[in-house]
Structure 1
Amino acid sequence: MQQHWYTGPLASFDTETTGVDVETDRIVSAALVVQLAPGAPAQTTTWLADPGVPIPDGARAVHGITDEQVRAYGRPARVVVAEVTRALAGQARAGRPVVVMNAPYDLTLLDRELRRHHGLTLNAGLGGAGLVVLDPRVLDKHVDRYRKGRRTLTDLCAHYGVDLTGAHDAAADATAAMSLIRRIGARYPAALGGLSAAELHLRQAVWHAAQARGLQAWFDRSGTPERVDVSWPLRPARCMCGRRLDPEHGCEAAA
């Protein structure tokens, strides 16, 4: 019997942070969960980082991690960021897809932390290992485009009947996101099951861009000034002038 990507080995990655701005906020905790098959025991690795900046009240209210905790038990952000990146590179080298709910947030934040602490992009930190990403948010929007309602991890777990205990804990969220992606694949085998995880990675970039353009059009019609980035799974770095940064040549304006 053919094994589909949603019945095979998967990893899942999640972070808790100091805020929602990928350009300036920091990682506070992270988790990587690895499972070889649905229902199999999962191996979970967690990290607690001292971000080097105070954790705002709003972020602390979400994940419950305090400044006192990270100072007492967290390790330097520089060390944690490097370890997380090596762990993700290991999954890529093993050919194991990585589930990341709303990937452009977590992966872009990790990229910016790598730049901040090590002067490396995420792609460079992965050492050439191609990360195959599965994003429940993008896949759900593709297979059930017109369903009304929010599509946060909590909302999607409720919709697909996935247990989410201890939301906004990195390990709990990563575990739930993995169960969620398996459930989405199993529910829509005709739309998703015939593709490999690598093929899905490529298609999700296209699907996300279309979804983002649709949301941007809605914002424009409603007079909302918010701008939506079409990039997936990683938002390009930008210089102070707002243009994209090329990894080799810097600002596009100088090219």
Structure 2
Amino acid sequence: MTWWTGRLASLDFESTGTNPHEARIVEAYIGLVGGGQPPIDRKPLFISPGVPMPAEAADIHGYTDEFLRELGVEPVEGIGRIVTAVKAVWSDGIPLVGHNIGGYDLTLLNAEMVRHGFGPLIDLMGGSYGPVIDTKTISKHIDKWRPRVNEKQGAHALKTCAQVFGIPWVDDEAHGARYDALISARVAWRMGAIAALPREQRPFVQAGRQDERHLFDDLLCDLPALFRKQRQWAREQAASYQTYLRSPKAGDKQDPAAVIDGAWPVQAAPARQEGTTQEAQEAIAS
């Protein structure tokens, strides 16, 4: 069975900000789809983060302090539930699938785990990560010359990927953890399905700039190989962006000292707390 036709665990978080080392998770979704089995569509989990919700974050996902205080669980309980779900799917060899999951979500989860006494994510499976499929990292590899849609919609935003790969998109439902997670899984499936086609039958996805449909061949591999490839692609993409930011081509964004971390699927938290607290152990077990 190919990875895109197997069981997929779609994951997404909504949070208080864009810096995964500092932001707090306020909504989490992990659902199971595909693999010839019925989907498991859990309700999203809301977490009261214990910090004020910035206005710019609330404008995106709509969750206010009052809403989260009323419907959200305490952080240790919420992170414990997420950790338990992640360990369960990884123990079964099921990949976590998400858009920018290796560039944001898993780093955010790692930071929250360290913050609340669970220890780093890599310790969850005894020193290694389970399988991960990052649709943004893959999109940037197979369609690297795709232009921005407009000033607000990036070339590899989830909405753009959905549109490029023929997945229906509803603006009014976007930016909720469940919706974004499930769209990511559908995008991943579509990428794999295209890779399975003969090259001449694959659609042009680079607006006719050049024929690089052969890049889909890189997806024709098993999950461990795909993990290694994504790690390499993420390093290459980070290095390329860093070079751009340091060059005059960046214009107002130019920063000769710019450093882009290419670690994938987790960037280490600046302050690492070792071990697991008793409260965290109880949250995982409960």
In terms of mean alpha carbon deviation, does 126-135 or 17-26 score higher?
A: 126-135
- Partners in 2 of 1:38 and 1:157 — Cα distance? 23
Aligned to 2:115: 116
Aligned to 1:16: 14
Deviations 1:73-119 (A, max 9, x none): 10001110111011011000111111021122110111111111115
Aligned to 1:187: 194
Aligned to 1:230: 262
- Partners in 2 of 1:32 and 1:129 — Cα distance? 20
Structure 1 residues without counterparts, runs of 5 or longer: 240-244, 249-255
Instruction: Give the structure with higher Rg (CA).
Output: 2
Residues 204-223 of structure 1: pairs in structure 2 closer than 5 A: 204-221=230-247, 222=250
In structure 2, relative to structure 1, the CA distance for the partners of 1:126 and 1:79 (3 Å cut) is farther
**Contact 1:4 1:193 survives alignment (8 Å):** no
Structure 2 residues without counterparts, runs of 5 or longer: 149-154, 197-215, 276-286
Shift of 1:20: 0.6
- Partners in 2 of 1:155 and 1:174 — Cα distance? 15
- Partners in 1 of 2:50 and 2:274 — Cα distance? 26
Deviations 1:18-66 (A, max 9, x none): 0111121100000001013379534334210000011111100100111
User: Which residue identity is paired with 2:116?
Assistant: H
In structure 2, relative to structure 1, the CA distance for the partners of 1:42 and 1:183 (3 Å cut) is farther
Normalized per residue, the structure richer in strand is: 1
- Partners in 2 of 1:233 and 1:86 — Cα distance? 19
In structure 2, relative to structure 1, the CA distance for the partners of 1:167 and 1:38 (3 Å cut) is farther
Give TM-score scaled by structure 2 length: 0.79
Shift of 1:188: 2.2
**Contact 2:16 2:23 survives alignment (8 Å):** yes
The structure 1 segments of at least 4 consecutive aligned residues displaced by more than 4 Å after TM superposition are 126-129, 245-248
In structure 2, relative to structure 1, the CA distance for the partners of 1:191 and 1:39 (3 Å cut) is farther
Residues 1-255 of structure 1: pairs in structure 2 closer than 5 A: 3-37=1-35, 41-102=39-100, 103-126=102-125, 130-149=129-148, 150-165=155-170, 166-189=173-196, 191-221=217-247, 222=250, 224-225=254-255, 226-239=258-271
Calculate percent identity across the aligned residue pairs: 29
- Partners in 2 of 1:193 and 1:202 — Cα distance? 11
Q: Matched residue pairs, number?
A: 241
* Local SS of the residue matching 1:75: coil
Q: Which has the higher contact order (CA 8 A, sep 6+)?
A: 2
- Partners in 1 of 2:219 and 2:245 — Cα distance? 33
Shift of 1:155: 1.1
**Contact 1:89 1:129 survives alignment (8 Å):** no
**Contact 1:29 1:46 survives alignment (8 Å):** yes
- Partners in 2 of 1:201 and 1:129 — Cα distance? 12
- Partners in 2 of 1:235 and 1:194 — Cα distance? 27
What RMSD in Å do the two structures reach over aligned CA positions?
2.1
